[in-house]
Amino acid sequence: MKDAAPQAEILSQGEELLQGEITDSNAAWLSQRLVRLGFDVVRHTAVGDRKGDLVEVFREIAGRSRICIGTGGLGPTCDDWTAHAFAEAFSLPLELDMVALDQIEDRFRRLGRGMPPSNRRQAYLPAGAERLDNHWGTAPGFRAVAGGCCFTLLPGVPEEMRQIYLSAVEPELRRSFRCRPPPILILRTMGVGESQLEQNIASLGLPAEVGLGFRAAAPVVDVKLHFPAAWERQRMAACGDQVQGACGDGVVGRWFVGEAEPDPLQEIGTLLMACQHTVAALEGVSAGAIARLCQDRPWFLESLCGRPERLAEFRETTPSVWSDPETLVALAEQHRQHCGADYLLAQFAGAGEEVEFVLIGPAGRYSQRRRIGASGSRCQEIAAAWSLEFLRRELARSGCRSLKYGDRYSSERTTMENE
Amino acid sequence: MKDAAPQAEILSQGEELLQGEITDSNAAWLSQRLVRLGFDVVRHTAVGDRKGDLVEVFREIAGRSRICIGTGGLGPTCDDWTAHAFAEAFSLPLELDMVALDQIEDRFRRLGRGMPPSNRRQAYLPAGAERLDNHWGTAPGFRAVAGGCCFTLLPGVPEEMRQIYLSAVEPELRRSFRCRPPPILILRTMGVGESQLEQNIASLGLPAEVGLGFRAAAPVVDVKLHFPAAWERQRMAACGDQVQGACGDGVVGRWFVGEAEPDPLQEIGTLLMACQHTVAALEGVSAGAIARLCQDRPWFLESLCGRPERLAEFRETTPSVWSDPETLVALAEQHRQHCGADYLLAQFAGAGEEVEFVLIGPAGRYSQRRRIGASGSRCQEIAAAWSLEFLRRELARSGCRSLKYGDRYSSERTTMENE
């Protein structure tokens, strides 16, 4: 089955990659998109700012694969070699693209500045290449077939690269290549350990031809079911149901490769907008990671970040209360009323790696203690993901309640398996 | 000069990389280590779980470079091919390493479990290879010279890889290769565009043998000066001064490759701790990105995140004021007093991509409007970086002032070149 899919490669150009100054997020993002389309991505290559290396890699890839998406090296400076190296690799002249030049000049005009002469370089493309307009930056990309391989070269700035890819590259790949995504079902889980999942699923005795894979990236573990190409959709879905049953309440999303991943924030938003409820946060552990994800959402009011003892709102309270869940819930409720929000998400750092999560909503108050086995920004992200997951579960469970600050409060406390 | 440094490559093996499920942080980390040692890293390659691809890449690398550090593919499962592929590439038999087998069995014993038969596979190494003990996981790494290239193959789990690299690989590289860090000076700048920098530096007429490179990662542009190997430190520094002069006020840090990068948060912290001053933030645009960076710092009190009209503190004010800098400064001052902080960093979203930055401190109030040419999380990060840079500049300029909420306020307003 794999051999039927057209072979694809990712090429990244940038001395900063080889110096180890940045990780290559472009390669991962592009790979994921190509795999979903049904391409077989066989290699990633990164080279630096030496033109000769780039020339060599272009030729190697052309001898190996059907398509190549490349990023970087389209900037205005003397170490940006992509167009030159491509032209040299395949003995093509470079030609000034007047439309590209106009676009670049226009962008500088809109910024109220003249175009520096060096930016003119960006308007030269290999003969026969198709320009890919960049409405998000100065460097246009281009597409050209050479040595039997279809090359698409894009700027290295991730935002610009993604915008051009989504608007001009992926639609064309869909038209030009008749490939279909691999038959893989993904079950996203939270709160159940990888080995526990493996044990539960093993006990099902799935058919031997169903491949099983796991990918753990706290707080999430994805279970991947690779089905035989011949299986009908219905048969795959039934097998997925069986596995989902074995994962218990842990499954938070489920989709086939090639379909859109479920977006928990989207789901939360839809449920909240139905009843016009609002959310605020008190980020004692996630430290702004919730605000970062939600600030632009219409249902999100505000977030206060800081260790509780440092916050102006709570500075009078004694430090001894920070380990008592009841007091934390009361403080969170006080803050929810101050914000005028329907839901409040809060976390407080406890002893060791323990975090006390609090969720207050119109229908009740909940608190839960979890251990987060990570530090720094990973810990912040995991805490934010759990706070939002508690909200999602509560919204999905309670639906749209019209009462606000109601009289039906219940105090519920659960302790789930720690990661 | 570059040709004097031994050529190195990084190889990553893992289907999850080619599926785009994870970014290759190992390659970046290893690159940085090798560059600092003085190697010339010329290529990163990632391949998946097909043995044939791996065999081919091993041979390619041996024909090109002096050393190669590889990660991944040493696990116990059927898609872990590194040792097999290496043996095949260079026609070597695989041999059972009894010490490795003992270590693997011992690890399972300590976990209170028997060793699954599949893990025996991990104790086979290519003939002549030197085992690299893994005290942090089950898979040992190995080192072997083949085709004139010194290969070091390590497990893909970042923690295990780093531990083995630091304890057994880097010391050996230092012994075996007499190389020194490349003579590269980096000038980190903010607020001056890449092409503007290039133009200013070009006008200096630097000696032709000084190589010039740029790396733009908004809001920062790094200027890199590659010096001839024969130059004395003093001569390089003088040239650096000249370039720094051409970059104007834009330079925020300066260091040689191989030295530690300057850390602006560290610098801010040192200046603040000297006078025991504290900081709070009102993150209208950075949306928690300041809190994320500063929450654990002793000088950071709290951050309030949200669009001003949504914040409980300011909801009564009329929307018309949000475009008036004077009112914004007054609101920020009100919030600073509420928090009891010495410094307040604030941003407010204006029309288009414009952001109004406000900094209030004991010695004055400043506001500045900048355009941020990015959206989403990049925009948040750029806004946070600028807020912190304004604070750093103010602290560096004013030093440690003892007055608090003093009477020496000045109202200053600047408009700098937009990115």
Domain ranges for chain B: 2-176, 184-256, 264-414
Q: How far is B151 from chain A (nearest CA, A)?
A: 18
Mutation target for A interface from B3, B16, B43: give the one with most A CBs within 10 A. Answer: B43
Q: Considering only the beta carbons, identify the residue of A19, A45, A305 that sits closest to B302.
A: A305
Q: What percent of chain B has pLDDT over 90?
A: 65
Q: How far is B419 from chain A (nearest CA, A)?
A: 9
Q: Which of B270, B414, B281, B212 is nearest to A312 (CA)?
A: B281
For B23-43, what is each residue's pLDDT tens digit?
A: 999 999 999 999 989 999 999
Q: Which CATH superfamily is domain A264-414 in?
A: CinA-like (3.90.950.20)
Q: Does A347 touch chain B (CB under 8 A)?
A: no
- The mean pLDDT values, 10 residues at a time, for chain A of 419 residues are 78 94 95 94 96 97 97 85 96 95 88 83 94 89 96 94 97 91 93 85 94 86 93 96 93 90 93 93 96 95 91 74 77 91 93 88 88 86 96 84 38 38
- Compare all CA atoms of chain A with the CA of B299 and give the residue at the minimum distance: A310
Q: Does B25 touch chain A (CB under 8 A)?
A: yes
Residue B164 has pLDDT above 80, yes or no: yes
Q: What ipTM is given for this predicted complex? A: 0.80
pTM score above 0.90 = no
For B5-17, what is each residue's pLDDT tens digit?
A: 899 999 999 989 9
- Band of pLDDT at residue B256, cut at 50, 70 and 90: very high
Residue B51 has pLDDT above 60, yes or no: yes
What is the rounded distance in angstroms from the CA atom of residue B414 to the CA atom of residue B396? 18
Which residues of chain A make contact with B334, given a CB cutoff of 8 A? none
Q: How far is B57 from chain A (nearest CA, A)?
A: 10
Beta-bridge partner residues of A126: A94
CB contact under 8 A, A118 and B44: no
Q: Considering only the beta carbons, identify the residue of A77, A159, A307 that sits closest to B214.
A: A77
Per-residue confidence (pLDDT) for residue A60, from 0 to 100? 97
The CATH architecture one would assign to domain A2-176 is 3-Layer(aba) Sandwich (3.40)
Residue B410 has pLDDT above 60, yes or no: no
Q: Does B395 touch chain A (CB under 8 A)?
A: no
A402: left (phi over 0), alpha (psi -120 to 50) or beta: alpha
Per-residue confidence (pLDDT) for residue B391, from 0 to 100? 95
Q: How far is B230 from chain A (nearest CA, A)?
A: 22
- Band of pLDDT at residue B408, cut at 50, 70 and 90: very low
Per-residue confidence (pLDDT) for residue B320, from 0 to 100? 62
- Band of pLDDT at residue B321, cut at 50, 70 and 90: low
What is the rounded distance in angstroms from the CA atom of residue A354 to the CA atom of residue A352? 6
Helical spans, DSSP H, in A72-169: 82-89, 98-110, 158-164
Question: Angle of helix A51-62 relative to helix A82-89, nearest 10 degrees?
Answer: 50
CB contact under 8 A, B23 and A22: no
Q: Does B170 touch chain A (CB under 8 A)?
A: no
CB contact under 8 A, B44 and A18: yes
Task: Tell me the mean pLDDT in the region B103-124.
Answer: 84
Q: Does B374 touch chain A (CB under 8 A)?
A: yes
What is the rounded distance in angstroms from the CA atom of residue B251 to the CA atom of residue B247? 6
| Contacting B residues, span 28-47, partner chain A, CB-CB under 8 Å | 28-35, 41-47
Mutation target for B interface from A295, A335, A344: give the one with most B CBs within 10 A. Answer: A295
CB contact under 8 A, A20 and B32: yes
Within this chain, domains A2-176 and A264-414 share the same CATH topology:
no
The phi and psi torsions of B258 (rounded to 5 degrees) equal 100, -25
Q: How far is A65 from chain B (nearest CA, A)?
A: 13
Which residues of chain B make contact with A78, given a CB cutoff of 8 A? 198, 212
The tokens for B389 are: 């840079």
- Compare all CA atoms of chain A with the CA of B339 and give the residue at the minimum distance: A312
- Compare all CA atoms of chain A with the CA of B37 and give the residue at the minimum distance: A19
CA angle B37, B43, B46 (to 5 degrees): 115
What is the rounded distance in angstroms from the CA atom of residue A9 to the CA atom of residue A45? 8
Q: Considering only the beta carbons, identify the residue of B33, B53, B305 that sits closest to A42.
A: B53
Question: What is the CA B100 to chain-centroid distance, rounded?
Answer: 35
CB contact under 8 A, B18 and A43: yes
Q: Considering only the beta carbons, identify the residue of A18, A19, A28 that sits closest to B23.
A: A28
Q: Does A212 touch chain B (CB under 8 A)?
A: no
Q: How far is A79 from chain B (nearest CA, A)?
A: 6
Q: Considering only the beta carbons, identify the residue of B18, B24, B306 that sits closest to A24.
A: B24
- Please give the CATH number for the structural domain made up of B184-256: 3.30.70.2860
Q: Does B271 touch chain A (CB under 8 A)?
A: no
Q: How far is A118 from chain B (nearest CA, A)?
A: 7
The tokens for A342 are: 């329907």
Judge if the upstream peptide bond of residue B181 is cis by omega within 30 degrees of 0: no
- Compare all CA atoms of chain B with the CA of A30 and give the residue at the minimum distance: B20
- Compare all CA atoms of chain A with the CA of B181 and give the residue at the minimum distance: A19
The answer to whether B308 and B314 have CB atoms below 8 angstroms apart is yes
Judge if the upstream peptide bond of residue A93 is cis by omega within 30 degrees of 0: no
For residue B248, what are the contacts with CB-CB under 8 A and spacing of at least 6? Answer: B192, B200
What is the rounded distance in angstroms from the CA atom of residue A305 to the CA atom of residue B324? 26
CB contact under 8 A, A77 and B31: no
Per-residue confidence (pLDDT) for residue A414, from 0 to 100? 41
Residue B116 has pLDDT above 50, yes or no: yes
Per-residue confidence (pLDDT) for residue B171, from 0 to 100? 95
CA angle A378, A380, A385 (to 5 degrees): 95
Q: Considering only the beta carbons, identify the residue of B21, B43, B291 that sits closest to A305.
A: B291
The answer to whether A137 and A126 have CB atoms below 8 angstroms apart is no
The residue type of A157 is V
Per-residue confidence (pLDDT) for residue A412, from 0 to 100? 40
For B192-227, what is each residue's pLDDT tens digit?
A: 988 899 999 999 999 999 999 888 888 999 999 999
